[in-house]
Structure 1
């Protein structure tokens, strides 16, 4: 969460202890390059008033002096419960029946915060949540991640990826941000996304996501990409995002960034979560990548030779069209990698098949908007000349949103 955002010392110590203990029991889930699909999914099915799945989530408790938030995060189902219709409801209330104490005295508000520390970590993939945020001055919902080495290196060296944050005084806008050593708190690196025509995020459900690959993170809202960050954005500071992270979602009340609730704020307020998922597209057999005119990405002549052209062709299910989209950022077929010829970054640089080298010209991101992006060039996989004829060579080109740059994997 943006601002100076450390947990209060007691909470940080408790969470660090969990992380250290879990690391001692089992290794963090850093996936090898040849891993199969890794999936985390929670659709929050269960009875009205039930709690979250304790095999997936733990509930944090306490307050947060560092952000000057006003809420106390409670245990159990007091402020985080299922609604019986496939949603988790995190509720912020202006009440304190248990006489919780906060940094400023008797707490004025209660809410909830959940994380997957010690239960699930991800390293790369598509991370998303479909949510309906609350409304009102002082509300601060967030869906975010922290580096799983938090207990060893501390924050911000652990890294933080904010997938979605909203502050109540900006009802039409959400923010995506990264934090790390030398770029944290108000110095975090990010961007905002706003709905058109003054629509408010609280009026309906929206899907907030990142597509995360080695040396690249891309943010989207409802499939609309609005920023991409790579090490080139850090001015020489350390990129600390090529390692496992755990998930967090919470609803804060007040704090430095959103400001405190005022007389216009109506309570209770709710962050309603429809689903959370983390997916990668690794597959042992590969899958088709379909694009313009419903045709497939194809290796010319089914040749596995270095330099074999990659083209558009009628889908036929052969090995020349079965691609594995890996959590290591590669796209592979016939045992080799999709490669930008000559390490090119200019518009019109062709793509080919080549021995996998780990180079930046072989790294790709498949976004929620169906772009396939080479982060080094910051360009999209493109059908040359928008020509759907069999044999049309594929290239990279400045991302335009055109049909010749839209791809469906699987």
Structure 2
């Protein structure tokens, strides 16, 4: 199976989420320890009452014909792409990406060069468009789908895909890439879903192909391309038919880099190493028509997942103070004791649960030092977490901050908080099943 080398990002670093950098923890003194066996719970801290859909995204492309896409959801990339030897120049605004007035986005590839654009090979021969949600929207886990009608013809290369939001800091392929759907024109009835990461990038990506029954071309009709993404597992489907599932076991010991925020990308490339260049049989213009893009996650408090202890600083466990179940009970560090107060389920719905309730950032705070507590599961952003089994980070998604042991203090009863991710030992947690 052939897979493409890296598509150049051509992204302004300022448009990406800010890099995670060292910031010292709070200087406040740690309070007296709360015994793991204590019965009393403190007064509850109110949880957020508004459902924060931090990992939910939808664009149905409603608007007047000829309008540009919603700039609060998408940014338009411009320029060429020497990395893949693609032939097009990606233009700004609505020149090659515009709404059609029927609830659809149309990305058009044309054989033209009205702006005298210059490409890696000289004067550009084609124009097209590429959009991404960097700086607007990222997601960790969920059901990610797009309903698309792909173009046809030799040299056409439409794609719906995702890149790790830390690409501006660590580069590609360390950032990871999830290709939800790619199609190359010489395979009209086949699409590909692929993972790229360190040691399995470019033509060495891990993936599979799916073909329509009877060799029907994908360009004849709309189809829904999706991934269902959970911690340590990604499943691909076309029109609801699952055709592959990948886990860290498929990587042969190489690093799984898909338990963190990613942003979305839509583009229509022309030519390149994988699809080959257009030829005399290719008819222009060609269009990638997008009916909708949608990301959904479960808001239930019981979303399945993996259960175990979360072991952190000095080998101690994440613990619900006093094994109490009252809303607002502090979540702390304590010597591991095998109790239910230390049994956490890292859910496929983005929750982290114990004693039937959810790990919660108090009052939906996103500032450094916001205390972490137990609260009724309510689907809010305060309860949306991403556990990265490779880096051992537990990240609150709306804040983009790490679960942190106050003042790097290993004493029993030390509270936890969210704090800017620093890579310190007081922010590292291992899920031990």
TM-score after normalising by structure 2: 0.63
Shift of 1:133: 0.1
Counterpart in the other structure of 1:58? 75
Instruction: Tell me if the contact between 1:6 and 1:155 (Cα under 8 Å) persists in the aligned partners.
Output: no
Shift of 1:20: 5.1
Which of structures 1 and 2 has the larger relative contact order (alpha carbons within 8 angstroms, sep 6+)? 2
Paired residue secondary structure (1:66): helix
Corresponding residue pairs, total: 288
Shift of 1:15: 2.9
Paired residue secondary structure (1:17): helix
Give the Cα separation in 1 of the matches to 2:353 and 2:212. Answer: 33
State yes or no: 1:190 paired with 2:212: no
State yes or no: 1:7 paired with 2:5: no
Counterpart in the other structure of 1:242? 259
Give the Cα separation in 2 of the matches to 1:327 and 1:36. Answer: 14
1:358-397 correspondence to structure 2 within 5 Å: none
1:118 to 121, 130, 135: 135
2:15 to 18, 27, 30: 18
Counterpart in the other structure of 2:350? 328
Shift of 1:62: 0.3
Counterpart in the other structure of 1:179? 196
State yes or no: 1:40 paired with 2:41: no
Structure 2 residue runs of 5 or longer lacking an equivalent are 22-50, 304-345, 359-386, 390-433
Question: Quick check: 199-208 or 325-334, which moved more?
Answer: 325-334
Give the Cα separation in 2 of the matches to 1:20 and 1:218. Answer: 26
1:298-337 correspondence to structure 2 within 5 Å: 326-328=348-350
Give the Cα separation in 1 of the matches to 2:355 and 2:158. Answer: 41
Describe the superposition over 1:281-316 as per-residue Cα deviations: whole angstroms up to 9, x where unpaired: 1236x79xxxxxxxxxxxxxxxxxxxxxxxxxxxxx
Structure 1 residue runs of 5 or longer lacking an equivalent are 25-34, 288-323, 337-357, 361-410
2:295 to 275, 278, 295: 278
Instruction: Tell me if the contact between 1:163 and 1:177 (Cα under 8 Å) persists in the aligned partners.
Output: yes
The 4+ residue runs of structure 1 with deviation greater than 3 A are 20-24, 35-38, 328-336
Give the Cα separation in 1 of the matches to 2:101 and 2:353. Answer: 40
1:152-167 correspondence to structure 2 within 5 Å: 152-167=169-184
Paired residue secondary structure (1:152): helix
Paired residue secondary structure (2:108): strand
Give the Cα separation in 2 of the matches to 1:225 and 1:179. Answer: 20
Paired residue secondary structure (2:83): coil
1:200-349 correspondence to structure 2 within 5 Å: 200-283=217-300, 326-328=348-350
State yes or no: 1:89 paired with 2:90: no
Counterpart in the other structure of 2:37? none
Describe the superposition over 1:89-143 as per-residue Cα deviations: whole angstroms up to 9, x where unpaired: 0000000011000000000000000000000000000000000000000000000
Shift of 1:18: 2.0
2:154 to 137, 141, 162: 137
Paired residue secondary structure (1:98): coil
Give the Cα separation in 2 of the matches to 1:325 and 1:130. Answer: 27
Paired residue secondary structure (1:217): strand
CA RMSD of the aligned region, Å? Answer: 2.6
Describe the superposition over 1:180-225 as per-residue Cα deviations: whole angstroms up to 9, x where unpaired: 0000000000000000011000000000000000000000000000
Give the Cα separation in 2 of the matches to 1:117 and 1:98. Answer: 26
Give the Cα separation in 2 of the matches to 1:51 and 1:36. Answer: 27
Counterpart in the other structure of 1:100? 117
Shift of 1:39: 1.4
Instruction: Tell me if the contact between 2:19 and 2:169 (Cα under 8 Å) persists in the aligned partners.
Output: no
Give the Cα separation in 2 of the matches to 1:235 and 1:225. Answer: 23
